[in-house]
Structure 1
């Protein structure tokens, strides 16, 4: 491994960010005293956004299959890995960990294995809920077994980003700990809680033959109930609003139920917002408004139902447009992020493929710090 000096406070936690994307893991962890000293991704467009917001001198733009332990600095205490979800998502091809995208988990595991006696104390994995059901649960079992063989005791939790931002974005996390588990952690099957619904409890129950633990975590916050905090202020004459013909086609594609929902919101005295997705129903492309007032899960901009429109309703008016990069940033908890690097679609792709800053920050504060700097947490309390 390289031993490149990095200026840091004595108790700073050194981290490596695999599949770094545009750098939202770093955005979340840096205020907690966790310094990312190495990052990697294969997409130049994502690296450009990363570099517009963070020092990218330690960013290795390369296929992870070309990465070896020698490329990483020494004394890494935390490794994060938001490996691709394409083959695990219910909306994807479900090839699982044998797929060319999600199978990159094994390349991450290979690098960790190569680190030998200098393996990070903690590993944080993030992916979609479909990871738990891929190939009947075999893919998750294989991943947990691999972590066990690398010397990690694992905890599995699930967090929906709607507890922090106005976006329904359900993700699962695996926290692997090498050596002593954090104070208060227990073995056995965890009780059902906000971060461990029944399906997560079942994951723990099925893998008691491996090193597993669970740490009691605080209750998740309620989260915002509407989109008012993310909507970009825009004049009614702004050209980004769709013209009459396009808006008429949007409304015409709706089912009677969807039109009734839209009209009820249009005729109120207050302005409100809804997100809309394009769906295939009975062979036809149709627009559907989300029932609640938060956004659907942001996805990479690949067509179909991947791209969300914003609908402004109230006082007898309806306006429709695509969501903007700034709104995507705010939905991901990164409202202060520079989004001008690359094209607007590249920005949308980067945010749709990222983690929510507030979620990672919450995990960092309540899980990663208690493991890596327990004394600091006790002093703060």
Structure 2
């Protein structure tokens, strides 16, 4: 017998990459029955890919959302609440900040839901773990624990799935009466999804909060270069002129310049990414050592945008990365770029989750909890 669809609510839905990931989970249908974001441009991108958005996506400040506004039967609630107050690159105001403090609005709605979702999945930057010396994370986990959730913490870098360095942490809460028999209450062993700092979170809080862990398979190795993720044919006008390329090279430090020259004289063409940084009050470019992209960010200034460097066989060419390349690096190769300006598209992807990471969590964690029979029958 086919299992009933898993009804999900997507808080801070953005352009819908959580939905994209959940729909790829094998073994059971996961349908997003409700979604919310405050930005009209993100809804427009979402709706261009999911025409049913009109029925369930609410463009509204979460502070105006009540639990009664959500449909019944929600089993999974996802929340990628704003990271700017938690990020090491942000202002570090933590959960008292205007943006990251939206966690408390998510918690307020969650508290009022009856019944509450069986599973919640929270995603944010790893700076959440150290914000205010760990107090912000403790306060958030304590609140979720008060709602009857047993908690697990994961750390996953998207580079295991796509050529982008994007470390993120995840909190998974499971209602205690839905905990699977293979969930364990002790401190988890160190693994690629639970490095020492995650293990320390379990060790610190297991005596006062309900904590658990579930054994997970090892993460894949991931691609080592940008092959298949870079657009082969772009408007030639996007490539910088010689003067701008020369200025890029001149701004490099001696170490960076040596790295660039080694690539330039190589027998093959290589793609690298670069960020603009301010060092001692001077704007300079820095080229990544490896062949993958740095963490894509929301476009809010020059240093937030990532450039693509094509170099080798004595030739060099540089341009800004395109929205399609951002989409590819977020695991959204098939995402339709039909809405918004290029800058809005870059912003939307920089503010999103990597599809492959959420899909992996869905297949290996969420589905075995929510539809264990589907996993058994699929196996």
Bin the TM-score by the shorter chain. Answer: over 0.9
Are residues 1:47 and 2:43 paired? Answer: yes
C-alpha deviation, 1:182, in angstroms: 2.0
Aligned counterpart in structure 2 of residue 126 of structure 1, from 105, 123, 128: 123
| Aligned residue in 1 for 2:229 | 230
- Distance in 1 between the 2:264 and 2:48 partners? 39
In the superposition, the TM-score normalised over structure 1's length comes to: 0.96
C-alpha deviation, 1:266, in angstroms: 1.0
- Distance in 2 between the 1:293 and 1:31 partners? 27
- Distance in 1 between the 2:342 and 2:261 partners? 31
Aligned counterparts, 1:127-206, within 5 A: 127-178=124-175, 179-206=177-204
Aligned-residue Cα RMSD (Å) equals 1.0
C-alpha deviation, 1:234, in angstroms: 2.9
| Aligned residue in 2 for 1:363 | 361
Q: Secondary structure at the match of 2:109?
A: helix
Please, which runs of 5 or more residues in structure 2 have no aligned partner?
A: none
| Aligned residue in 1 for 2:299 | 301
- Distance in 2 between the 1:175 and 1:73 partners? 22
Aligned counterpart in structure 1 of residue 278 of structure 2, from 277, 280, 283: 280
Q: Secondary structure at the match of 2:236?
A: coil
- Distance in 2 between the 1:140 and 1:50 partners? 30
- Distance in 2 between the 1:70 and 1:299 partners? 34
Aligned counterpart in structure 1 of residue 33 of structure 2, from 34, 37, 56: 37
Q: Secondary structure at the match of 2:8?
A: strand
Q: Secondary structure at the match of 1:257?
A: helix
| Aligned residue in 2 for 1:4 | none
| Aligned residue in 2 for 1:216 | 215
C-alpha deviation, 1:149, in angstroms: 0.5
- Distance in 2 between the 1:229 and 1:184 partners? 38
C-alpha deviation, 1:183, in angstroms: 3.0
Aligned counterparts, 1:367-378, within 5 A: 367-378=365-376
Post-superposition Cα deviations, 1:54-86, rounded to whole Å, max 9, x if no partner, equal: 121210000000000111110000000000000
Aligned counterparts, 1:36-115, within 5 A: 36-54=32-50, 55-57=52-54, 58-115=56-113
| Aligned residue in 2 for 1:23 | 16
Q: Secondary structure at the match of 1:31?
A: coil
- Distance in 2 between the 1:151 and 1:373 partners? 20
- Distance in 2 between the 1:197 and 1:82 partners? 22
C-alpha deviation, 1:246, in angstroms: 1.1
| Aligned residue in 1 for 2:342 | 344
- Distance in 2 between the 1:109 and 1:329 partners? 30
C-alpha deviation, 1:31, in angstroms: 2.7
Q: Secondary structure at the match of 1:124?
A: strand
- Distance in 1 between the 2:281 and 2:253 partners? 14
- Distance in 1 between the 2:303 and 2:183 partners? 41
C-alpha deviation, 1:10, in angstroms: 5.3
Q: Secondary structure at the match of 1:103?
A: helix
Post-superposition Cα deviations, 1:238-281, rounded to whole Å, max 9, x if no partner, equal: 00000111111111111111111111101112111000000111
- Distance in 2 between the 1:118 and 1:305 partners? 45
